[in-house]
Structure 1
Amino acid sequence: MRLSEVIGRAGAQSTRKVRLVKGSHLVTPKFWEGPHSYLVQNHDKRVIFINAYEGDKALIGTTDIAWDGAPETVAITNDEIDYLLCAVNRYFEHPLRRQDIVETFSGVRPLYDDGKGNPSAVTRDYVFDMDVSGGAPLLNVFGGKITTFRKLAEHALQKLQPTFPKMGVDWTAAATLPGGDIEGADVPRFMAKLQAQYEWLPRNLLRHYAQTHGTLTPRVINGATSLAGLGQQFGPTFYEAEARYLMANEWAESADDMLTRRTKHGLHMSAEQKAAFGVWLDGPAAKSA
C-alpha cells in the first residue's frame, strides 16, 4: 500500500512523498587486530564503514540503491556484494572473498523525497506534516533514521502540545533505556560488580549479559547459582534462562526473534545448534513455567 493511500484512509491528504532506498550489509570474520573501526571511501566517493562487531566479526556497509519493490522482499544483490568487497579490498592487504561472508542483511529506508536524483544525496532528516482539517489532528512523519528516533519522538510530541496542553516537558535527553542505568556509566566497574555477584559465570557469558541486558542481568539469571541453573545451553552464550526472559519481557516469539533481532546469537551458532533451539522452542518444554 502506498503512502498516499495510507494517509487517504485516515481522511487526510498530503503532497509529501517518501523515497525507498535499500541499504545492504555484510558480516564477515574480523580481519584486523585491535578494537578499531574504519571509514573508507569507495571509487564513487561514497563512504563505507567497517566496524568491529559481536566480538570476532566485522560489519561492513552500506549501499544506497533505489527500491520500488515490496519491503519484505528486500535482499542483497551480487552487485552490492561486489561493491562492498571492492571498497574493503582497496584498503586492506588481506583480501576479503565471497566465501568469507558469514551473513548478509538488507533494509529499506523510507526517506523524505526532496527531489534529489542520487539516492545517496536524499536527506536523512525527517519532515512533519500536520493535518487538522478533520477535527482531530493527524501528524504524518516522513523520513528519519533509527539514530534520531529520540529527537524525532520529542519533536513529534512538541507538535501535538497544543492538543495536549497538560503533556509536560521534554524528558528523554537524560533518560536511559531499560538496563542502561549503570552508575556513573562506568561499565568496567559494573562488570566487576557482576562478576563478584556471580563468580560462577564464565567471563564471555558475563560480558554478553552485561552488554545486552545491563542492570537487568539479575532478572535474566533469575536466581540461578550455577550454569546448570540457567537451563539448557543452545549456543556459546545462549542458555534457556535468557530465552525465557526474552519471551516473557521482550515479546520474542520465534527463533529469529531471539537469534537475530533481540540478540545476535545466531552469528555464533551452527546450523545444528539453531535447529535444536527451534525444536526446543516448538516443544512443550518452552511452554512450561
Structure 2
Amino acid sequence: MSDTHYDLCIIGGGINGAGIARDAAGRGLSVLLVEGDDLGSGTSSASTKLIHGGLRYLEHMNFRLVRESLAEREALLRIAPHLVRGMEFVLPMGKGGKRPIWKIRLGLWLYDLFAGSSRLAHSRFIRNLGSESFGVPLRPEYKKGFVYSDAWGDDTRLVVLNAVDALENGADIRLRTICTGIQEDGKLWSVALHDRFTEKDYSVHASAVINATGPWVGRFLKGTGLGDGDPELPGVRLVQGSHIILPRQLNGEESYLLQQKDGRVVFVIPYENDFTLVGTTEVDFNDDPKDAEASEEEVAYLCEAYNMAFKAPVLPEDALFTFSGIRALVEQGQKRVSAISRDCQIYHHKGLPLPLISIFGGKLTTYRAQAERAVDMVSGLLNVVTDPWTDTQALPGGDFRGGGLDVFIESQCARYPWLPPSVLRRYAQAYGTRMDRIVGEGDSLACLGHYCGQDVYEAELRYLVDHEMAQTDEDILWRRSKLGLKVTDETLENIASVLSTL
C-alpha cells in the first residue's frame, strides 16, 4: 500500500471533502478521500438543513456571498431535485423588532433581484397575518409580515451522494481511517494513515493534499506542523450551532424566520413529517469538536425564541433530540459571532515545497462552487488542464426527466402500486431514480426481503451497504437516512441482525 500514488489526497469526508472528491475525480484526477469516521459525521450532519442565499448576510453588505449562494441554490435544485426542494418562509413583524419593515422590504427586494429568474417564487408582503393559515399559530402582536422563498436540503445525503459519485468516477474512499501524519518524500507527499477497523498503519503518496477537516482544520495543521511559521495563515474561530427537535408543532408546510432581541434570527422548520426543527444558536467553542452538545442555556434560548412568536408554548423538556455542530469561521476580529462572514477561504500554503491547500469556513449551500475553485487551484498547481462540470451533471438519482419530484413520484406510484405510499415517497426523496436499484422489478413487499419494522426492509439496507458505503447501523439511521428519529428498539435490533448477515 505504501507505493500507492494519487494525484490528490483529501483529508476529511464532510461536504467540502466529498464535493472536492466528486469534482476532481470527474475531471480525471486520481483521488483518495480519507475520513476518520463516517461520511458527514461531523459538522455536515449538524446543519439547519437549509440551501439558502442567506438573507441576513445582506445586513453585513456581503452581497457577493448572497449572489453566489442564490446561484448555488438554483444549481442544487437542478442537480439534486430529490434532495433539495423549495420552501416558503414566513417572516413575522411585531413591535420591538430590531429591523423596521422598510429595511426588511428592501432586503427582500435585493434578495429577489439577486436570485434573478429563480424557479422559486418572489417575496410578498402580508398585511394581515391573522387572515392567513400560516399566521394563525402566531401570537396576536404579529400582525404583518413577509413570505419569501428558499430551499431545504438533506445535508448528509448530499455528502453521501457526492462521495458515491466520486467513487463511481474512480475515487478511492477510505472511511474510519485517520491521517496520522504527512511529510515531504521527494516530489510527493507521504501521507500516514491508520485504519481504525484493522488497526493497521500504512502510507500512501500524493502529488497534492487538501485539508478539508472542517472544525479540525487548525488542529490538523498544528498536529502535522504544516502551518508553523506561516504569517498569512488564516485564524480560526470555532462557533457552536445547536438545534432542538420537537414533536410536530405546526400543521402547515411553511417555515418561519424569527427575529430575536439580540439581533440574531432563529428558524422554525417542519422536519421529517413528524417533527419541528428549531435552530440555531451561535456560541464560541474552545473544546474538541467531537464533544459538541447543546447546553441547557442553548435549549432554553431556542424555546424562548419559539415562544416569543407562537401562541402554544414549548418547554425545554419537550425537546426529543438536540444536536450541535461546530463551524470553523475565518477570524476577522468581529466581537459578535453573527457578524463573521460564512464565506470560504481556500488557502494555498505557498511556503511549502509541495501543494497543500486548506479549506477555511464555507457553508453547505456553496459547497459545490467551493469545491470547483479548490479543484481549479489543484489543477493549476499540478499543471494539468481540467474543465469544471458539476454545475450541470445531476447527483446520483437526480436525473429526473420531464418533470420534478412530484412527477417522478407519480410515475413510481404507477410502476409500484404495491409499495406503501410512505415507503415510496421516502425512497423517491432519498434515492431518486436509483430507487429501482432497491425495488427492482419486484411485484410485492416480499421482494424487499426481511421486514425490520417501521418501513425498513432488507433490500434498502443491502443497497446502503453495497452502494453507499454504510458500515454500521448509525451510518444508516442518522446519515444515509433520518430513520433514527423514529425507530423503536425492536426495529433497531432487527436492523442490526440483518446487517450482521450482509
TM, length-normalised to structure 2: 0.54
Structure 1, residues 101-149: CA drift from partner, whole Å, max 9, x if none? 2211111111111121222222111112223343332222211122211
Are 1:138 and 2:138 matched, yes or no? no
Deviation for aligned residue 1:185 = 4.3
2:219 alignment counterpart: 2
1:195 alignment counterpart: 413
Bigger strand fraction: 2
Q: Helix, strand or coil for the counterpart of 1:140?
A: strand
2:334 alignment counterpart: 116
CA distance in 2 between partners of 1:197 and 1:183 (Å): 16
Larger deviation: 200-209 or 225-234?
Answer: 225-234
1:253 to 471, 480, 486: 471
1:63 alignment counterpart: 281
Deviation for aligned residue 1:41 = 1.2
2:396 to 175, 178, 186: 178
Deviation for aligned residue 1:79 = 0.5
Please report the RMSD computed on the Cα atoms of aligned residues, expressed in angstroms: 2.0
Mark the runs of 5 or more structure 1 residues left unpaired by the alignment: none
CA distance in 1 between partners of 2:229 and 2:388 (Å): 28
Larger deviation: 66-75 or 270-279?
Answer: 270-279
Within-5 A mapping of 1:160-239: 160-239=378-457
Are 1:24 and 2:242 matched, yes or no? yes
1:103 to 312, 321, 341: 321
CA distance in 2 between partners of 1:12 and 1:141 (Å): 18
Deviation for aligned residue 1:234 = 2.4
**Residues 221 and 227 of structure 2 are in contact (CA less than 8 Å); yes or no, is this contact kept in structure 1?**
no
Larger deviation: 80-89 or 262-271?
Answer: 262-271
Larger deviation: 244-253 or 125-134?
Answer: 125-134
Given the superposition, is the C-alpha separation of residues 147 and 21 from structure 1 closer, same or farther in structure 2, using an over 3 Å criterion? same
Within-5 A mapping of 1:36-47: 36-47=254-265
CA distance in 1 between partners of 2:369 and 2:258 (Å): 28
Q: Helix, strand or coil for the counterpart of 2:338?
A: helix
**Residues 23 and 64 of structure 1 are in contact (CA less than 8 Å); yes or no, is this contact kept in structure 2?**
yes
Given the superposition, is the C-alpha separation of residues 152 and 25 from structure 1 closer, same or farther in structure 2, using an over 3 Å criterion? same
Deviation for aligned residue 1:7 = 5.8
CA distance in 1 between partners of 2:381 and 2:263 (Å): 46
**Residues 454 and 491 of structure 2 are in contact (CA less than 8 Å); yes or no, is this contact kept in structure 1?**
no
Residue identity opposite 1:92 in structure 2:
F
CA distance in 1 between partners of 2:318 and 2:287 (Å): 29
CA distance in 2 between partners of 1:87 and 1:158 (Å): 42
Given the superposition, is the C-alpha separation of residues 251 and 12 from structure 1 closer, same or farther in structure 2, using an over 3 Å criterion? farther
Deviation for aligned residue 1:51 = 0.8
Residue identity opposite 1:89 in structure 2:
N
CA distance in 2 between partners of 1:6 and 1:159 (Å): 24
Residue identity opposite 2:246 in structure 1:
T
**Residues 237 and 265 of structure 1 are in contact (CA less than 8 Å); yes or no, is this contact kept in structure 2?**
no
CA distance in 2 between partners of 1:120 and 1:52 (Å): 24
Structure 1, residues 213-235: CA drift from partner, whole Å, max 9, x if none? 00000001244321122122224
1:125 to 338, 343, 362: 343
Deviation for aligned residue 1:165 = 4.2
Q: Percent identity?
A: 37
Q: Taking CA–CA contacts closer than 8 Å with sequence separation of 6 or more, which of the two structures ends up with the larger relative contact order?
A: 2
CA distance in 1 between partners of 2:333 and 2:257 (Å): 28
1:88 alignment counterpart: 306
Residue identity opposite 1:247 in structure 2:
V
CA distance in 1 between partners of 2:236 and 2:465 (Å): 35
TM, length-normalised to structure 1: 0.91
CA distance in 2 between partners of 1:84 and 1:235 (Å): 33
CA distance in 1 between partners of 2:414 and 2:386 (Å): 41
**Residues 245 and 277 of structure 2 are in contact (CA less than 8 Å); yes or no, is this contact kept in structure 1?**
yes
**Residues 227 and 233 of structure 2 are in contact (CA less than 8 Å); yes or no, is this contact kept in structure 1?**
no
Deviation for aligned residue 1:272 = 3.2
